[in-house]
Structure 1
Amino acid sequence: MNVLILGDRTDPHAAHVGQAVAQAGASVYYCNTQHFPTRIQLSWSPSAHTGTIMLPEGDRLDLHQIHSIFWRSFYGVQVPPLQDAQQASIAHKDALSALRSLMQACPAYWINSWQAYQFHQEKPLQLHRIAQLGVPIPPTLISNDPQAILQFYESYPDLIFKPVYGGAYTQRITPDHLNLDRLELASKIAPVTLQEYVPGTNVRSYVIGAEVYTAEIRSDAVDFREDAAATLIPAILPEAVQQQCVAIAHCLYLEWTAIDWRLTPDGQYVFLEANPSPMFLHFERQTGFPITQLLVERLIG
């Protein structure tokens, strides 16, 4: 049985999953997509429904021989430097199109799929879909309109902000951020996601299929990811919220995910985000929840 890890073998989570799958008796391969097309070779025939990928170590895998794929990290592609900018652009687009096509054509079982990864890039749409499920989300505005931002602040004076796409920590809004000159400048660079700050306790739920494992995260930081001293305490979600976890994963095309909640003082669980490739080793060690075991069972099942 062949299991492919999408990511680099030096990544602790990729290596951990790979080692666990290998211990369960499967053959494990790693694919760092940055090595395409310089060190990875692929071929695919849409008419014959056949394809192969040869990895840097020389291993050649037929697409139909890959049983499952664990999505840890997608690094895009990296073409050699070219002096001609147009040629460089064409080469990059060609390489990325070929790789993306092969990934979507591969019949292996994915945790998680290209569709899930793509949907994760559209976080505002994610929030919209979650709200349509009836799951509470914070009042939110995505905007690069200074007047709209100021009006939103008037309605919700306790705000946080973060990138629309991701890649930076959440911060609290201060009066300096709302300086009109600063807003005008920032609005010409990129939109921003604004949300009402939700007081309460950080809660993270890992969802694997129909299994849900949850812990409270004790931290005073606005974004607990910045707090190395944060502590994890296993918790049991109300049955209705557990069902929401499974519904959220299904809605976002996720076989597995980590959902971040804020538990308000009045007992309401407010959805913040669902991650398609969450880190989990620290969580597992702190709580004893069998995340690795469940992932391996799905990858080799």
Structure 2
Amino acid sequence: MNILILGNAEDSHAAHIKQALTQAGVTADYLDTALFPSQIKMFWQPDTQIGGLILGERRLNFTDIKSVFWRQFSGVYIPELQDDEQRRIALNDSMSTLRSLLQACPCRWVNSWEAYEFHKEKPLQLKAVKQLGVNIPATLIANDPQAITEFAQSHEKVIFKPVYGGAHTQLVTEFHLDPKRLNLAVKISPVTLQEYIVGTNIRSYVIADSVYSAEIRSAALDFREDMEAELIPKEVPEFVKQQCLAITQALKLQWTAIDWRLKPTGEYIFLEANPSPMFLHFEKQTGFPITEQLLKLLMH
């Protein structure tokens, strides 16, 4: 059995999964896409569906690969060339080949390229979850100063964050809404604004049909900034578990971490579902068998 880990040994989560697989008697290799095309070789014939890749001395046909654990996608690496146009073509060809093979390989992906692409379009993720009947915060994605100002003024407290993700949440203040500053900012980039939900942070890890939830006690606006946050296992209502499973399926995920805000009224508000969440600290603090469940997903 051959299992690949998208990422490299510098990532603690990738290294942890590789070690766990090795201890379970599985042959596991890193698939670090930053080494393509300089060191990793790939091949695929669309007419016969025969394809594979070469990692160092190891040649793996698609049929040899049981599953792939998606930890970190690094794109491809093309060195600087004297001819910028030649480099652009090389970059496009390499990425097109990589994207094609990531989708053509018929093994189990945990998670898939499709899920990864969906995650990058966070507004569409929110729309898909809302269509399931799950509550989401009042949200605006815009680079229109008037719409932003009106939205901020229509709610008692508003937070903002990047549309794409990758940065921590901040509260909107009068400083941000200053017309001169706002007009300049939105010419550079649109932004996501959401009503601030008073309540408790809940994170639910979903792996296949298992759901593990915990309350995250933190005074920080964004608990990811708080290394002292307290994690307390929590039994969520059955309807929330079912929503977790429905969200996972709708977003084409095999596993995920779903962040909720639990209001004092008992209402659960969906915030985000991550296709490649960190879990080592969470697993250590709660005792949830996340690694064990991931290995089952990858091996069986």
Smaller-chain TM-score bracket: over 0.9
For structure 2, list consecutive stretches of 5 or more residues without a partner in the other structure: none
Where in structure 2 are the equivalents of 1:1-301 lying within 5 Å?
1-55=1-55, 57-301=56-300
The answer on whether the counterparts of 2:7 and 2:31 sit within 8 Å (CA) in structure 1 is yes
TM-score with structure 1 setting the length? 0.98
Q: CA deviation at 1:83?
A: 1.8
Give the letter aligned to residue 282 of structure 1: H
For structure 1, list consecutive stretches of 5 or more residues without a partner in the other structure: none
Q: CA deviation at 1:58?
A: 2.4
SS in 2 for 1:271: strand
Q: CA deviation at 1:242?
A: 0.6
**Deviation readout 1:217-237 (Å, 9 max, x if unpaired):** 000111000001101000000
Q: CA deviation at 1:26?
A: 1.0
Q: CA deviation at 1:156?
A: 1.2
Using the alignment, how far apart are the partners of 2:214 and 2:281 within structure 1? 12
The answer on whether the counterparts of 2:201 and 2:217 sit within 8 Å (CA) in structure 1 is yes
TM-score with structure 2 setting the length? 0.99
Give the letter aligned to residue 41 of structure 1: K
Give the letter aligned to residue 82 of structure 2: Q
Using the alignment, how far apart are the partners of 1:297 and 1:22 within structure 2? 14
Give the letter aligned to residue 261 of structure 1: W
Q: CA deviation at 1:157?
A: 3.5
The answer on whether the counterparts of 1:38 and 1:80 sit within 8 Å (CA) in structure 2 is no
Aligned residues with identical type, % of pairs: 60
Q: CA deviation at 1:74?
A: 0.6
**Deviation readout 1:105-160 (Å, 9 max, x if unpaired):** 00111100111011101100000111111111000000000000011112114100
Name which of structure 1's ranges 26-35 and 41-50 shifts more when overlaid on structure 2. Answer: 41-50
Q: CA deviation at 1:60?
A: 1.5
The answer on whether the counterparts of 2:152 and 2:172 sit within 8 Å (CA) in structure 1 is no
Length, aligned pairs only = 300
**Deviation readout 1:151-198 (Å, 9 max, x if unpaired):** 111211410000000110000011100010111111111100000000
Give the letter aligned to residue 244 of structure 1: Q
